[in-house]
Structure 1
Amino acid sequence: MSEVKGKTPTEYSASNIQVLEGLEAVRKRPAMYIGDVGIKGLHHLIWEVVDNSIDEALAGYCDTIYVTVHEDNSISVLDNGRGIPTDMHEKEKRSALEVVLTVLHAGGKFDKNTYKVSGGLHGVGVSCVNALSETLKATVYRDGKIFEQEYERGNPLYPVRIIGESEQRGTSIYFKPDKQIFTISEYNYETIASRLRELAFLNPGITIYLEDTREKDEKGETRKDKFLSEGGLREFVDYIDSTREKLIPEPIYIENDKGEIPVQVALSYNTSFSENLVSYVNNINTHEGGTHVAGFRRALTRTLKNYAEKSGLLEKVKIDISGDDFREGLTAVISVKVAEPQFEGQTKTKLGNSDAMGAVDQAVGEVLQYFLEEHPREAKTIVNKVILAAQARHAARKAREMVQRKNVLSGTGLPGKLADCSSTDPSISELYLVEGDSAGGSAKQGRDRMFQAILPLRGKILNVEKAQEHKIYENEEIKNIITALGVSFGTVDDDKALNLAKLRYHKIVIMTDADVDGSHIRTLILTFFFRYMKELIENGYVYIALPPLYLVKKGKEERYCWTEEERDAFVKELGGGKDDSVNVQRYKGLGEMNPEQLWSTTMDPARRSLKQVSIESAAEADHLFSMLMGDEVAPRRDFIEKNAKYARIDV
């Protein structure tokens, strides 16, 4: 492993490690520290360890990181940084390595001389990973020696020891998540790859290797990826927009590191009808935006509007142009580094530092104004896009108002095809969006009428990725979904924002056939929700029903199976292969099940299997939806060919 060129690894020792808090509570209340004990929390363990390596890179001491998923779903992360200090900690009277791994919030990040900016500041450090792991092994390559310490559920098995000599430099953390803590133990490759790709774009020049030893192809090769970006945010914008038609040849890049808050922004325009803005603070994805996003939007609107008015491009436009219009077809990535970030919002992913707004506003305003004056052709293209967006927005507002007015005029305002539930309490009410009238009929008969409502959808809803907004609200199936949900559009600040005040169901379940058409319909509905009702997903209201794929029978014994592995295991259990008395029925459509079967397998809360839809990475989700549902065929074909052998699609 190569040493990073540049800085001499000095001024980082036990004296830099400050202790803030003990570790006792982590195992008792893990969700307080990592969010939850499900799939998100499981992956959060990797982010905490990788964050340490990225912080070494930000400080200039590391340029290579290796992440490996082992066959038993244990993880190892190796970097070529300075290595966690191993000398005695003066206050704690034990090795600094043990302090870092056993005391919550202990680390160099709280010492401003060690790390000026840290990505892991909103996290809880590798000690939390240690507390929630069955086993953890730390190996440090430092000062010509190899140091090692192992732990069980946060407790050291022996003091830090020297096990050899090496000129290598860096830290290796191996851990296995504790099954006593986590409800899910299997890592998702795509989730890990997405985050590492993001980190490579945000930190150009760092090479991150990912290997998954759990899966091998026909040649016996493990699944591998290498993430390295030289172009940083420019490449990030190009990646997000890779399946869209560009309006300007290259992304506009803005960088200002002169002030207290370094700012990096890349932005571009495309022919789509949606805005895609992704923001980060110290490599942390700020899903809810914040002051840095507000500063960007303010500068973009002001600068573009001033240019458009000065150049006379708005003289013949008879309608008002709003801030939204300047962002249609915009793709932008904002990254700021803040020494002491203040996070707020529902999920603590909204930046609250007021000085970030001014820093981003000034940086974007200056560079964008210069760009528009120096590139009149591109500037005119952008302004023309803005004018078209304003005209489309007016048409869309009228279409939304028509949908809402129709609801009011028709009394209940509910679609005729909706079989509603008797409960009026949204917190226990569920709406099933069901593919086809046949399955809709079975679902209506099989459901619990008290809290389950059924809305059959005829055929495939409109592909919103290719349609202007006003056309979307004219689509019959989409109108039915909107009116059944009871939501409206428009707030004081934003006439496109979704208003959830009158949402009638807090579980919206997409229930489609387990075939290609069913997958397509599900993706169309998810695309609509992601583009126009993202708040439903962000609040955790959207689910996918998982009907069984097989019914395996032998005599009076029968079992529903959701996977091929389950099917094969039960067939073997019944003695399959010895005789032909085992009958395997493959369900292709929901309509093949009678109401009782549909209830017991797919709708009964006690036995059903639902997958909650979440947005781990907005940038990755945007790229995926535009690739799957957009005009470009080649990227879609590549994606299918690359992922077909893994045959697990998680949204």
Structure 2
Amino acid sequence: MFDNLRQVSYVCLPHHPTKQQQQHMAESTYTEDNIRSLDWKEHIRIRPGMYIGKLGDGASPDDGIYILLKEVIDNSIDEYVMGFGREVEVKVEEGVVSVRDYGRGIPLGKVIDVVSKINTGGKYDSKAFKKSVGLNGVGLKASNALSEEFTVYAVREGQKKQADFSYGELVKDHKISKTKEPNGTFISFRADHGIFKKYKYRSDYIENQLWNYAYLNAGLKLNFNGKTLVSRNGLRDLLERKIGQEQRRYPIIHLKGEDIEVAMTHGNGYGETYFSFVNGQHTTQGGTHLIAFRQSVVEAVQKHFGKSYDRKDILASINAAVAIKVEEPIFESQTKTKLGSTEMGPGSPTVQTFLRNFMLEHLDNFLHKNPAVTQSLEKRIKQSERERKEIAGIKKLANQRAKKANLHNKKLRDCRVHFDSSNKKHTEEGKLASTIFITEGDSASGSITVARDVQSQAVFSLRGKPLNCFGQTKKVVYENEEFNLLQHALNIEDGLEYLRYNRIVIATDADVDGMHIRLLLLTFFLQFFPDMVGAGHLYILDTPLFRVRDKQKTYYCYSEQERQEAVKALRGKAEITRFKGLGEISPNEFKDFIGENIRLEPVVLGEATDIEQLLNYYMGKNTPARQTFIIDNLRKEQDEDLDGNGVPDVEELAVAEA
């Protein structure tokens, strides 16, 4: 059996490094002097991503400035869960965030330690915080270390202890004093502008964040800048606000049990929309509990009807919220956006078994007791089944064409790293920042393609105005070649699980045609992929309208006010250029606008946004109503003297900003 084996001999030749290699080896000597020990605040400030995920400027709901706020509020929520304090006050004024709860208050002798000593807190004792949001004692320390100003005080039984910090360093240790304030904890901070550059808080993001706390803690009052947020019916209220009554195919199914709450209904649209939570934490990336929930819904529905309905038909257009409580949960990162736990706790059943048993019993019972809901649910499943079978042939042909196009897709200039975790080349950098720009025409896409970062930025070029798809079925997505290629580029045909880009950015000219294309793309995504929009992945690229410069300085201005300020700053005759289209901006200039200083306007679905009603108004056949609105809101744009020479420059007029 060894006859066919060949003997191979290896000869090892001596390696003689070049002078350059020898010098490099000498410079990279690894000795005891290379070993450094960082204190807690240095490590957080050098590696903030390990503690709060991405930094960002506030344009995305998972940017670091919102994580800092979340880490502070989590402690107040834990107090409420333990039965102490029924109100939390949150204020954001001129960049300063403050949170005041009325719980027990941090023990006075440990106020400084709790916010500045790593791995110090009251949540390591499972008896006190058995199913807490925060477990590792890092959150408050991260907020402290990453803030220019940080103040904490606690009140207990008429006594108050305060401490002031800056960049994690204690600057003033106040003596314990008497006070008439009620028990509780107060924390305020201003995020470090050196780390979070040009950041700005968005009130709608903070309000959405606080509403989630309200839904998960029925009866808790959250006061945000004078506005009171409170929920009486938990997750049912969440779905009622998120999914308009006209969009629901049947009344919301609301199920509650020990350590679990579920609300669900089906809508008229497409996609699957989920809101998942663990111990009060909004797990925006799902995790083991969401996977188990989806499987359990399918199994419970199939068992109830005694039919093997297809999984896709059961979950099509579902809108659901699920919240569970897990003892000592394991998350996949410090930001706690994805659950990794497979068990409900030590010695407890698995997450899969727990959800399966609950849904098989409670959903089945509900459907038996509510025949009208059961009938509507089955009707929606059968409708999805019909639609799926109707487009099966078209879908197959469209996918074959898309597969061929992917071999040499002239519309897509891809990047190297992607958002979906299944990609073997996936990196944390790509996951957090992978972006695709959807542009109009070759000139705009050409500038962005040359200027982009090929590591994490892709470009998809449209050939012109896309189809107005309002009111059409998903069949049009496969029949229209451009839409089909776009959904394949994003990899969202079967849901968000394998979405390839974290940020989908619409990049169109700031003129009438550009605005129209933007509106048509928004219609496409809202009509067929509302879950992607709701998850915060869609943005509008903000590019400068003017370039104002002299021989020494150049200013890029995004508004008329910025243009006027730039002209003033140059104090002389400034050269002013009005950018009429993205193609007019050179690749060298474009690098600044899509790099570190990128300005993105997120597309946010507010509370109780009725997508069907919204699209019907702007894209439907209600022309007279729209005409009346436009006439009532017209604004005359006056001729402007852009260069200050006393003569209005009609050719360089700014487009009126709506």
Normalised-by-shorter TM-score class: 0.7 to 0.9
What is the aligned counterpart of 2:211 among 178, 189, 197? 197
Give the match for residue 8 of structure 1.
none
The superposition leaves residues 392-451 of structure 1 with CA deviations (integer Å, 9 ceiling, x where unpaired) of 223444333212222456795536xx4969x9999999975323x4xx346548863996
For the structure 1 residues 521 and 154, does the alpha-carbon distance in structure 2 shift closer, same or farther, using more than 3 Å as the test? same
Give the match for residue 438 of structure 2.
433
Equivalences for residues 473-492 of structure 1 within 5 A = 473-482=478-487, 485=489
In the TM superposition, residue 84 of structure 1 has moved relative to its aligned partner by 0.8
Q: Distance in 2 between matches of 1:158 and 1:352?
A: 41
What is the aligned counterpart of 1:78 among 100, 118, 128? 100
Give the match for residue 252 of structure 2.
251
For the structure 1 residues 342 and 586, does the alpha-carbon distance in structure 2 shift closer, same or farther, using more than 3 Å as the test? same
In the TM superposition, residue 199 of structure 1 has moved relative to its aligned partner by 1.0
Equivalences for residues 595-634 of structure 1 within 5 A = 597-602=585-590, 610-611=598-599, 626=611, 630-631=615-616
Q: Distance in 1 between matches of 2:237 and 2:512?
A: 33
- Equivalent residues of 1:547, 1:601 under 8 A apart: no
The superposition leaves residues 277-315 of structure 1 with CA deviations (integer Å, 9 ceiling, x where unpaired) of 111101112233233223322332222222223xxxx6x
Q: Secondary structure at the match of 2:247?
A: coil
Equivalences for residues 108-507 of structure 1 within 5 A = 108-121=122-135, 124-211=138-225, 224-242=226-244, 244-248=246-250, 250-257=251-258, 262-309=259-306, 321-344=309-332, 349-354=338-343, 355-407=350-402, 412=407, 414=409, 418=411, 432-435=437-440, 437=441, 440-441=442-443, 443-444=445-446, 448=450, 455-463=461-469, 466-482=471-487, 485=489
- Equivalent residues of 1:546, 1:602 under 8 A apart: no
The residue type paired with residue 247 of structure 1 is R
Q: Distance in 2 between matches of 1:481 and 1:198?
A: 32
Q: Which runs of 5+ in 1 are unaligned?
A: 1-20, 87-94, 212-223, 315-319, 642-651
Give me the CA root mean square deviation. Answer: 4.1
- Equivalent residues of 1:546, 1:609 under 8 A apart: no
The superposition leaves residues 80-125 of structure 1 with CA deviations (integer Å, 9 ceiling, x where unpaired) of 1111111xxxxxxxx2111101112321111123222211237722
Q: Distance in 2 between matches of 1:252 and 1:370?
A: 11
Worse overlay, 402-411 or 376-385: 402-411
In the TM superposition, residue 535 of structure 1 has moved relative to its aligned partner by 8.6
Give the match for residue 11 of structure 2.
none
For the structure 1 residues 516 and 323, does the alpha-carbon distance in structure 2 shift closer, same or farther, using more than 3 Å as the test? farther
Percentage of identical aligned residues: 27
Give the match for residue 65 of structure 1.
88
Give the match for residue 546 of structure 1.
542
Q: Distance in 2 between matches of 1:102 and 1:111?
A: 19
The residue type paired with residue 83 of structure 1 is G
- Equivalent residues of 1:548, 1:602 under 8 A apart: no
The residue type paired with residue 372 of structure 1 is L
Q: How many residues align?
A: 554
In the TM superposition, residue 610 of structure 1 has moved relative to its aligned partner by 3.4
Worse overlay, 126-135 or 563-572: 563-572
Q: Distance in 1 between matches of 2:600 and 2:163?
A: 39
In the TM superposition, residue 474 of structure 1 has moved relative to its aligned partner by 1.4
In the TM superposition, residue 361 of structure 1 has moved relative to its aligned partner by 2.0
Q: Distance in 1 between matches of 2:84 and 2:206?
A: 23
For the structure 1 residues 156 and 462, does the alpha-carbon distance in structure 2 shift closer, same or farther, using more than 3 Å as the test? same
Q: Distance in 2 between matches of 1:367 and 1:85?
A: 42
Q: Distance in 1 between matches of 2:523 and 2:130?
A: 40
Q: Secondary structure at the match of 1:473?
A: helix
Q: Secondary structure at the match of 2:123?
A: helix
For the structure 1 residues 471 and 345, does the alpha-carbon distance in structure 2 shift closer, same or farther, using more than 3 Å as the test? farther
In the TM superposition, residue 538 of structure 1 has moved relative to its aligned partner by 8.8
- Equivalent residues of 1:76, 1:173 under 8 A apart: yes
For the structure 1 residues 507 and 164, does the alpha-carbon distance in structure 2 shift closer, same or farther, using more than 3 Å as the test? closer
Q: Which runs of 5+ in 2 are unaligned?
A: 1-38, 58-62, 344-349, 419-424, 619-624, 631-658
The residue type paired with residue 44 of structure 2 is V
The residue type paired with residue 37 of structure 1 is L
- Equivalent residues of 1:240, 1:623 under 8 A apart: yes
TM-score, structure 2 as length reference: 0.73
In the TM superposition, residue 385 of structure 1 has moved relative to its aligned partner by 0.6
Give the match for residue 74 of structure 2.
51
- Equivalent residues of 1:288, 1:345 under 8 A apart: no
For the structure 1 residues 274 and 108, does the alpha-carbon distance in structure 2 shift closer, same or farther, using more than 3 Å as the test? same
Q: Distance in 1 between matches of 2:513 and 2:219?
A: 43
Higher Cα Rg, which structure: 2
Give the match for residue 562 of structure 1.
558
For the structure 1 residues 67 and 155, does the alpha-carbon distance in structure 2 shift closer, same or farther, using more than 3 Å as the test? same
The residue type paired with residue 237 of structure 2 is E
Q: Secondary structure at the match of 1:121?
A: coil
Q: Distance in 1 between matches of 2:232 and 2:186?
A: 25
In the TM superposition, residue 627 of structure 1 has moved relative to its aligned partner by 6.7
Q: Distance in 1 between matches of 2:580 and 2:481?
A: 26
Give the match for residue 107 of structure 1.
121
Give the match for residue 5 of structure 2.
none
Q: Secondary structure at the match of 1:393?
A: helix
For the structure 1 residues 37 and 271, does the alpha-carbon distance in structure 2 shift closer, same or farther, using more than 3 Å as the test? closer
- Equivalent residues of 2:51, 2:335 under 8 A apart: no
Worse overlay, 116-125 or 357-366: 116-125
- Equivalent residues of 1:462, 1:472 under 8 A apart: no
- Equivalent residues of 1:146, 1:166 under 8 A apart: no
For the structure 1 residues 150 and 605, does the alpha-carbon distance in structure 2 shift closer, same or farther, using more than 3 Å as the test? closer
TM-score, structure 1 as length reference: 0.74
Q: Distance in 2 between matches of 1:400 and 1:109?
A: 52
- Equivalent residues of 1:56, 1:82 under 8 A apart: yes
In the TM superposition, residue 323 of structure 1 has moved relative to its aligned partner by 1.5
Give the match for residue 89 of structure 1.
none
For the structure 1 residues 331 and 99, does the alpha-carbon distance in structure 2 shift closer, same or farther, using more than 3 Å as the test? same
The residue type paired with residue 256 of structure 1 is G
- Equivalent residues of 1:243, 1:627 under 8 A apart: no
Q: Distance in 1 between matches of 2:394 and 2:518?
A: 24
For the structure 1 residues 534 and 323, does the alpha-carbon distance in structure 2 shift closer, same or farther, using more than 3 Å as the test? same
For the structure 1 residues 235 and 512, does the alpha-carbon distance in structure 2 shift closer, same or farther, using more than 3 Å as the test? same
For the structure 1 residues 41 and 609, does the alpha-carbon distance in structure 2 shift closer, same or farther, using more than 3 Å as the test? closer
Q: Distance in 1 between matches of 2:435 and 2:188?
A: 42
